[in-house]
Chain A
Amino acid sequence: GQNIDQPTEMTATEGAIVQINCTYQTSGFNGLFWYQQHAGEAPTFLSYNVLDGLEEKGRFSSFLSRSKGYSYLLLKELQMKDSASYLCAVSDGNAGNMLTFGGGTRLMVKP
């Protein structure tokens, strides 16, 4: 089985930087995804990490440390539209690579 932990809620200010952490425990790690979900909408893909290190994509970056079972999503130059839930999902190679989603972190961006 898997255990994925994320903070439930975070608040940040427009223009600032915020880091959303995700820790996981899995016996057969095979990759980690971050999805963004606005209220009332479907999740949309943000990033994928399978090797250690930082993946940068515009204002968003995602970091992975497999030895620590840890990832974070970094959002720079926050905009009001970044207010959403951010879901961490882990692929388990011992479960047919199926994804298990964390509970999500609800980010509120204030002016």
Chain B
Amino acid sequence: DAGVIQSPRHEVTEMGQEVTLRCKPISGHDYLFWYRQTMMRGLELLIYFNNNVPIDDSGMPEDRFSAKMPNASFSTLKIQPSEPRDSAVYFCASSLAGVDDTQYFGPGTRLTVL
């Protein structure tokens, strides 16, 4: 398996623009997680899905953030409108059996909002 795939790897955009991050989990994994990592706040869970259904989005910072999982092999995290403080590395991870199972992380998307 190729592991968790994320795109793009790097994104530079201007404040106010819409940003869409994409993730393909490991085939057969029922859980998908979106994290954000910054120097100041470390690794934070934003939202996670089980069988394509959002289970907990309490980590989503604001209404500007939204996430979808239309099928078992694809998820998106959208920021609209983006702000400079959204600059971070966004990781997608998947696990086979649950939120407390080993999570496999994608390479991340480094987002810079100017």
A and B physically associate: yes
Which residues between 88 and 105 of chain A lie within 8 Å of chain B, taking CB atoms? Answer: 91, 96-104
For residue A33, which residues in chain B have a CB less than 8 angstroms away from its CB? Answer: 102
For residue B42, which residues in chain A have a CB less than 8 angstroms away from its CB? Answer: 101-104
Which residues between 43 and 92 of chain A lie within 8 Å of chain B, taking CB atoms? Answer: 43-45, 48, 87, 91
Q: In which size bucket is the chain B interface? A: 10 to 19
- Taking a contact as CB atoms under 8 Å apart, the answer to whether B107 and A48 are in contact is no
CB proximity of A48 to chain B, nearest CB, Å? 7
A19 adjacent to chain B (CB < 8 Å): no
CB proximity of A111 to chain B, nearest CB, Å? 27
For residue A45, which residues in chain B have a CB less than 8 angstroms away from its CB? Answer: 102-104
A31 to B45, CA, bound (A): 17
B25 adjacent to chain A (CB < 8 Å): no
B34 adjacent to chain A (CB < 8 Å): no
Interface residues in A, total, Cβ within 8 A: 20
A1 to B92, CA, bound (A): 23
Per-residue 0/1 for B3-20: is the Cβ within 8 Å of any A Cβ (1 yes, 0 no)?
000000000000000000
Per-residue 0/1 for B71-114: is the Cβ within 8 Å of any A Cβ (1 yes, 0 no)?
00000000000000000000100000011101111111000000
CB proximity of A72 to chain B, nearest CB, Å? 19
For residue B108, which residues in chain A have a CB less than 8 angstroms away from its CB? Answer: 42
A48 to B100, CA, bound (A): 10
- Taking a contact as CB atoms under 8 Å apart, the answer to whether A30 and B100 are in contact is yes
- Taking a contact as CB atoms under 8 Å apart, the answer to whether A87 and B43 are in contact is yes
- Taking a contact as CB atoms under 8 Å apart, the answer to whether B107 and A42 are in contact is yes
CB proximity of A1 to chain B, nearest CB, Å? 11
Residue B105 contacts which of A31, A43, A98, A100 (CB distance < 8 angstroms)?
A43
